[in-house]
Amino acid sequence: MPIEFNEKRWVDVKETYRKWWAGELKRPVCGAVVIDRDPGRPVPSAPLLTQATCHDFSWSVEDIVERIDYELCRQSYLGDAFPYVNLDCFGPGVAAAFLGAKVDNTTGGVWFEPFTEKPISQLHFKYDGDNPWLLRVKNLCRAAVDRWGNTVVVGMPDLGGTLDILQIFRPGEKLLFDFYDFPEEVKRAVWEIHQLWHRFYTEIHEILQQKGMGYSDWSGIYSEKPFYILQCDVSYMISPEIFNEFALPELEASINRLERSVYHLDGPGALNHIDKILSIENLSCMQWIPGDGNPSWGKWPEVYQKIAASGKLIQSMGSPIDDLFKIMAQTGVPGRIQHSTILFEKADVKEPQIVENRVLISSSLLSALRLFFFLFKPIMAFLRVVNKMKRPIT
């Protein structure tokens, strides 16, 4: 059984995102993927590509793609969802591996560390076209394009933020001291990584765009033009002064090199820098992640209101669907919001259960979910009319 998605649905998805990026959509972008179909063939022998299995190069990339295809054939796509492969399975900041860092996934998640720690003055980053991780990613992308053509979007791997990559090679507090002790060396290293980061981005996308399917990344956002979700998770540890000197110039340069961009703002500690980031003219969108142990997405109205006031788009990543409606009410700009796709799986359960990255739901709840997405656009249109009726007559 093939992937359940046709050309007409791709036309709709592209038009929806075209309007969203332009700020012309009148409702949020919202979708769900449901695992509820029988692919009609045995499960392939290759393991599913995850952070726990990405190191196993004994399987051919064609075998890996075959297993991913099996999983895609199990899925139904509701609302604005589309067939998509998330290559964050190589870990957050895989550009560090491309630059020679050691990959450790013994815990089931990917972590990067230097083979040998060097002082910042001895760190010099160069391109290595024979790097095994870079070759693996490129070969996997080629196999994916050959298999799916213009049916599936394959996202750019999580390359990481420039300073985040540098901290992998200067771990712990070492980079923090380098900001003060060797500022010029830090800046040199940042710009070396910047140039290589964009080379990796360009080379991988030259493969992925052979069929002109468009762009995505670990955010799951779709774009017909080059874009990426940029970040600087190191920012939660540094002052605005340090951020403005060492992170902001490179961040702005990356934003200006991309036609569209999203910024990943992670945790309350990063809020010290939100005004400076939002002031970057060409930044398109901001994704806010409250972080573990903090109030959920809908309880940060001041953050979403600030993003909305700047004119940027908003991504609500990982938030419950009820928080989406809270954010809509808090900002008053529902058409500028993209709610990340939620993964469900049909199961014999009485109550919804969260297992790993998906929600198990019963057949009856699945029917209700399908009805919700069937009615989503009419509901949003109705709410727009109601809101207009509430406005005072002038």
Model confidence over 171-194: pLDDT tens digits? 989 999 999 999 999 999 999 999
- Over range 362-377, report the average pLDDT: 85
Query: For the chain, which residues make up each domain, given as ranges?
Result: 43-218, 225-342, 349-384
- Residue 189 makes CB contacts below 8 A (sequence gap 6+) with 120, 123, 125, 166
pLDDT band at 132 (very low <50, low <70, confident <90, very high): very high
Instruction: Name residue, tokens 């695992």.
Output: 35
Question: What mean pLDDT comes out for the span 153-161?
Answer: 98
The answer to whether residue 45 scores a pLDDT higher than 80 is: yes
pTM: 0.93
The percent of residues in the chain predicted with pLDDT above 90, rounded, is: 83
CA distance 385 to 279: 33
Which pLDDT belongs to residue 386?
Answer: 62
pLDDT score of 390: 54
Sequence-separated (6 or more) residues with CB below 8 Å from residue 90: 51, 54, 97, 110, 133, 137, 157, 158
Mean pLDDT of the region 9-37: 96
**Band of pLDDT at residue 393, cut at 50, 70 and 90:** very low
Pick 225-342's CATH classification: 3.90.550, 1.10.1060, 3.60.21, 3.40.50: 3.40.50
Residue 394 has pLDDT above 50, yes or no: no
**Residue 364 predicted with pLDDT over 90:** no
Residue 392 has pLDDT above 50, yes or no: no
Q: What backbone phi and psi angles, to 5 degrees, belong to 14? A: -65, -40
Model pLDDT for residues 320-331, shown as the tens digit of each residue: 888 999 999 999
**DSSP of 126-160, one letter per residue?**
---TT-HHHHHHHHHHHHHHHHHTTS-EEPPP---
State the sign of the Cα–Cα–Cα–Cα dihedral 283, 289, 290, 292: negative
- Mean pLDDT, the chain, as a whole number? 94
CB atoms within 10 A of CB 311: 13
Strand pairing report for 111-113 and 102-104: antiparallel
Taking only the tens place, the pLDDT of each residue in 374-390 is 888 887 877 666 666 55
Q: What percent of the chain has pLDDT over 70?
A: 97
- Tell me the average pLDDT across 240-254: 98
3-state secondary structure of 76: strand
Give the residue-averaged pLDDT of 57-84: 97
Given a cut of 90, is residue 356 above it in pLDDT?
no
Mean pLDDT of all residues in 299-321: 95
> Residue 373 — pLDDT band, cuts 50, 70, 90?
confident
Query: Rounded to an integer, what is the distance from CA 142 to the centroid of its chain?
Result: 21
